[in-house]
Amino acid sequence: MMRLTRPLRYGGLAALILACIGLLTVAAVNIVRIERQMQISATENMTWIFGQTQIEALNLAAALSSDADPAEVQLRFDLLVSRLNLLRDGPQWRFLSEAGLAEGLMGWRDGLLALDPAEGGDRAALAAHVAALSTALRGKASRVMSREWQIQSERLDSLGRLHLLALATVLGALISGTVLAALLIDRERRLIRSTMDQLRAKQLERDLDQERRTSEGYRRFSDLIAHQVRTPLAVIDSAMHRLTRPGNPPSPEIIRAKAEVSREAVARLVRLTDTALLMARVDRGAVEPDLACHDLDRIAAAAIEDLHESARALKTGRVILGSGNRPVTAICDPVLTGEILANLLRNAFLYSPPGSDIDVRPMQDGELAVCDISDRGPGMTPEELAVAFEDFARGARHRDLPGSGLGLPLARHLARLQDGDVTLAPRAGGGLVARLILPGAVTT
């Protein structure tokens, strides 16, 4: 349907444009023709020319009858001849011939010349000839005038026709121009409407995508809760069960051991809750970083200390803070940065074999402040690295390890909030290097 109507519509537009141009050209040609026809030529003054001839004939007749001196008669004779000669010239002669008035005129002239007073022509015969000529001219004068007006009227008619034609073509051009304009406006309106529809569709698609991601997130979250909340609860339940078992009362050592296990399980639950809550705040944009220059060494040291306190029972190994000679200053929010480092450190602990070392190295890299956390764990496969920062994405191999699956995405979110980032890379010699990158400040 569309394929058929489109060439049709373009063809229509082209035809309209051509019609406009064609009509305007015709109008222009007509106007030029009108302009050309509007010149008045002296030939159209035939009434005057003929009248002058008549007057000269009368003047000569008067001179002859009043017994004027020969010079005056000669002058009048010459003038009459000159008028008759003028009538004999091209345009005037054509006018008279077309009007049927030329006949006999030159006979009168020849008769006149035969009686030329300069050559001793008979004055009485001349007088008679001129009197007859006057009468003949009088008879033609009115017809000359009528012929002239006829020509003028015909010319005006022709001008009128040309004028009407020009007017009609201009009107036609106006109409096709209006239709053209209406079509173009309609097309423009449709174009805008379709653009708006496209934008709306894109928006809807985005919204739907967002909705899908959110629901996928909820699904993973419920999975996670099912798994990660049940494990510590099972640990606590088992401890309580042991302590309240009938029979021999438990020894103080057993009670302390079970209490420690239970507390640790509770701590895990609290951490899980805290992480989920913070992630939710980040998600809805409620976290505003308070950016300032801070010593990254000090933030790292504090994060390590907190971790040692909360995870004393793990006793998995030691964290070595490798500070350089120069202080590393980062433009960051210390609380958020501490949270990032804590997350990265917990991950390092979680995946490291017991007793292995974890290196923490803050350093300045050009204009960036960087902190590397290297563990000696199993590292990650390229596939795992590719999805490591997605919410609730936990390696299949580590499904049973405690953790929210939100640690890395949260760390990256928090880093990006501070114009930084978190990246992961394999460590040379095995393990993983998690790198926090923050905007650095040049120390003075």
Residues that bind other proteins (CB under 8 A): 39-43, 52, 55-56, 75, 78-79, 81-82, 85-86, 89-92
- Rounded distance between C-alpha atoms, residue 272 and residue 225, angstroms: 9
CB of 131: closest distance to other proteins in angstroms?
20
Integer Cα distance of 228 and 225 in angstroms = 5
> Do 170 and 27 contact (CB within 8 A), yes or no?
yes
> How far apart, in whole angstroms, are the C-alpha atoms of residue 407 and residue 276?
9
SS3 state of residue 150: helix
Least distance (Å) between residue 158 CB and other proteins:
19
Rounded to the nearest whole angstrom, what is the least distance from the CB of residue 67 to other proteins in the complex? 21
Residue number with CB closer to other proteins (81 or 291): 81
E strand map for 226-376: 292-295, 319-321, 329-332, 358-365, 368-374
Nearest to other proteins of 91, 355 (CB atom): 91
Pairing type for strands 358-365 and 319-321 reads parallel
> Could you tell me if residue 366 is left (phi over 0), alpha (psi between -120 and 50 degrees) or otherwise beta?
left
Q: Please report where in the chains the tokens 């035809």 appear, as a residue.
A: 15
- Single out the residue of 416, 414, 434, 415 nearest to residue 424, CA to CA: 434
Q: At its nearest, how many Å lie between other proteins and the CB of residue 57?
A: 12
Q: Is the CB of 76 or the CB of 412 nearer to other proteins?
A: 76
Token couple for 398: 């580590």
Beta carbon of residue 86, minimum distance to other proteins (angstroms, whole number) = 6
Nearest approach in angstroms of CB 41 to other proteins is 5
Total Cβ atoms within 10 A of residue 190: 10
Nearest-approach distance from CB 14 to other proteins, in angstroms: 39
For residue 102, what are its two tokens?
A: 């030329």
Pick the closer one to other proteins by CB: 55 or 175. Answer: 55
What is the nearest approach in angstroms of other proteins to the Cβ of residue 42?
4
CB of 116 to other proteins, least distance (A): 10
Nearest to other proteins of 16, 126 (CB atom): 126
Find the shortest distance in angstroms from Cβ 111 to other proteins. Answer: 15
Q: CB neighbours of 364 closer than 8 A, spacing ≥ 6?
A: 324, 326, 328, 329, 370, 440
CA angle 255, 257, 258 (to 5 degrees): 65
| Tally of CB atoms within 10 A around 29 | 14
Tokens encoding 90: 């091209």
Compare residues 60 and 417 and give the one whose CB is closer to other proteins. 60
| Three-class DSSP category at 367 | coil
78 versus 223: smaller Cβ distance to other proteins: 78
The nearest distance, CB 9 to other proteins, in angstroms, is 47
DSSP-derived secondary structure letter, 440: B
Q: Retrieve residue 156's tokens.
A: 């005006």
Q: CA 284, CA 417: separation in Å to the nearest integer?
A: 13
What's 422's DSSP letter? Answer: E
Nearer to other proteins, 159 or 350 (CB): 159
Which of 78/421 has CB closer to other proteins? 78
Pairing type for strands 319-321 and 329-332 reads unpaired
State the Cα torsion 140-146-150-153 to the nearest 10°: 150
**DSSP per-residue string spanning 14-70:** HHHHHHHHHHHHHHHHHHHHHHHHT---GGGGHHHHHHHHHHHHHHHHHHHHTT--H
Which lies closer to other proteins via its Cβ, residue 87 or residue 348? 87
Q: Which is nearer to other proteins, 41 or 325 (CB)?
A: 41
